[in-house]
Amino acid sequence: MPHHIPALSEEELEEGRRLFAGPCNFFFGAQTIEQLPPPERAEVAFAGRSNVGKSSIINALTGRRALARASSEPGRTKQLNFFDLGGRLSLVDMPGYGFAKASKAVKEDWQRTMFAYLRGRPNLARVILLIDGRVGLKASDKEVCALLDKAAVVFQIVLTKCDALSPTALTERVKEVEALAKSHAAAFPHIVATSSTTALGIAELRGIIAQFAEPAIGRP
């Protein structure tokens, strides 16, 4: 299937492998915008609905089983968590949105914080917007796309849990999400289909993220 073929070169995939094979450490948790760490390195932020599989994909990318705590309890991540990849790039785990049980005040608070972060972060290179392959698009995903457009942050849509879909269902899901990407100026048109269970798309996503990393010391 065409969307399974990585759009990256061998060198880019290798860069991704190298970056994620190096050290990766949690270094900061921010609950408010005022607490953000200094914008020293390029950042790639992960956003998605609660329970989208965000912790699982961060763990799959970094090869650490419990770096970002994967939980079956939706809505646990309530702060912006910062991870340092060998001093070359930061990964930011954003709180999951669309948690059905959250109050209106909590949702509005999330939206305010996220928008302030997305709009005001000078070193934010890209947002990885995770969409649950099993569930598909929800109103909250569309709201976040609009927010990203408004904040003028380029985002990469990534489908999660694709192992749970038949090839036909996956093709349909990719089409649905491609249409969404086309309707948003800030969306990168190529969709990455992933599974943290089978590692589908993980190498490709590493390569995409590595494009924003500072060069490794001792290498050109």
Q: Which residues make up the interface to ligand GTP (CB under 6 A)?
A: 48, 50-56, 70-72, 74-77, 96, 160-161, 163-164, 195-197
Of 6 and 98, nearer to ligand GTP (C-beta) is 98
Q: How far is the CB of 127 from ligand GTP (least distance, A)?
A: 15
Of 200, 166, 153, 165, the C-alpha closest to 5 is 200
Distances (CA, A) of 99 to 49, 51, 74, 88, 172: 7, 9, 7, 33, 25
Shortest Cβ distance from residue 38 to ligand GTP (Å)? 26
- Nearer to ligand GTP by C-beta: 147 or 193? 193
Helix, strand, or coil (residue 148): helix
Residue 9 structure tokens? 């070169």
For the bound state, the minimum distance from the C-beta of residue 16 to ligand GTP, rounded and expressed in Å, comes to 18
Specify the residue, 72 or 168, whose C-beta has the smaller distance to ligand GTP. 72
Pairing mode of beta strands 89-93, 155-160: unpaired
Tell me the closest approach of the beta carbon of residue 181 to ligand GTP, in angstroms.
20
